[in-house]
Structure 1
Amino acid sequence: MKTTKDKQVVVGADFAGFPLKEYVKRHLVDNGWEVTDLTPDPDTTPMYHRVGFLIGSKIAEGEFEKALAFCGTGMGIHVAASKVPHVHAAVAESVKAAKRAAAANGCNVLAMGGFWIAPRLGQAMADAFLQSNLGDGYEDWDGFYDYHKLGFDETENFDYEAYKANGFEVVEPGTVEMGPEPTRLAF
């Protein structure tokens, strides 16, 4: 698997997200990342949902640990990528949200909207997302990692039919106690 620890990431965009993807890709390459671009030609980029499926497949098949996806709003490509097994996708419009997607929710795909995100903001969001992992920055918050890991695991293993058969409640839900939020956390 190509990992963020080894500075490897996969990216893709539709026509609307293509310019932002190019700015972010250039920034990453300039900072030592190996970027696999699934949509290198703006004239042949697939529709947003097809790019989302393609990006998601790289996660589902275990080829990449994390991916960056770009469309006009980030929403459509995010929805499509989320349909692929093992994808935990987030849409973000701020650096803090991008970091939190990885640190609190264990997301492995970050979607950005080229209509809303300026180039430098997109670069900073990519850095925050790619440099963060589940629990990072919350080491002093008792139970934070365990609480969010439980959420990740229950989402990863979600079986809708079992959920439905159980009266729309999680089957054998886990429990985790979180301590009080440290006062110095900014998010």
Structure 2
Amino acid sequence: MIIAIGADHAGYRLKDVIVPFLEAQGHRIIDLGCNCADSVDYPDYAVPVCDKVVSGEADRGILICGTGIGMSIAANKTPGIRCALVHDLFSAKATREHNDTNVLAMGERVVGPGVAEEIVRVWLDTPFSEGPRHVGRLNKVKAIETQQALHP
């Protein structure tokens, strides 16, 4: 799987843990930064990751900031992105099964490296259920995106 990943200054250390974890599992990584503690703006990293996912250059995206909140807000402004902020294993599984999320957001200040690795593993390994009720709900979300694009 090709995974685009990005972080701001408050999330780059956890990104530096997640990248080799993913590579060890055989995934190809597109690392879009940042790579230092100098203050940066999370949308500048969320947007390029989401663009890679929407264009098909990446299968999924992972975003990390201090809490994951800013990254998830910015990511969900991109049509076609379904980003979930996840800090536990149950949510990692449910967001894939029920919502077919294509971007995962986490907070370095909220979740430790070991739990973050397990969240990523569960999120990547869990398929979308494709149950009729979940498909119907996702179609409603897609209709909202279409409506917003026509009437901003």
> Which has the higher Rg, Structure 1 or Structure 2?
1
Q: Is 1:71 the counterpart of 2:69 in the alignment?
A: no
Residue 54 to residue 44, structure 1, CA distance change in 2 (3 Å): farther
Aligned partner of residue 99 in structure 2, secondary structure: coil
Return the letter of the residue paired with 1:150: G
5+ long unaligned stretches in structure 2: none
Aligned partner of residue 116 in structure 2, secondary structure: helix
Aligned partner of residue 104 in structure 1, secondary structure: helix
Partner of 1:185: none
Q: Is 1:15 the counterpart of 2:17 in the alignment?
A: no
Tell me, in whole angstroms, the C-alpha distance in 1 between the residues paired with 2:27 and 2:66. 24
Partner of 2:95: 101
Aligned partner of residue 132 in structure 2, secondary structure: helix
TM-score (normalised: structure 1): 0.74
Return the letter of the residue paired with 1:95: L
Cα RMSD, aligned residues only: 2.1
Tell me, in whole angstroms, the C-alpha distance in 2 between the residues paired with 1:151 and 1:160. 17
Per-residue deviation, residues 49-87 of structure 1 (Å, max 9, x unmatched):
221111111122222221111000000001001101100
Tell me, in whole angstroms, the C-alpha distance in 2 between the residues paired with 1:157 and 1:58. 22
Q: Which protein has the bigger helix share?
A: 2
5+ long unaligned stretches in structure 1: 1-6, 136-143, 164-187
Query: Is this contact kept in 2: 1:134–1:149, CA < 8 A?
Result: no
Tell me, in whole angstroms, the C-alpha distance in 1 between the residues paired with 2:87 and 2:126. 16
Per-residue deviation, residues 106-149 of structure 1 (Å, max 9, x unmatched):
110000000011001000000111111211xxxxxxxx711011
Query: Is this contact kept in 2: 1:50–1:80, CA < 8 A?
Result: no
Tell me, in whole angstroms, the C-alpha distance in 1 between the residues paired with 2:77 and 2:38. 23
Query: Is this contact kept in 1: 2:4–2:30, CA < 8 A?
Result: yes
Structure 1 residue ranges (4+ consecutive) displaced by more than 2 angstroms after TM superposition: 43-46, 160-163
Aligned residues: 150
Instruction: State percent identity of aligned pairs.
Output: 25
TM-score (normalised: structure 2): 0.90
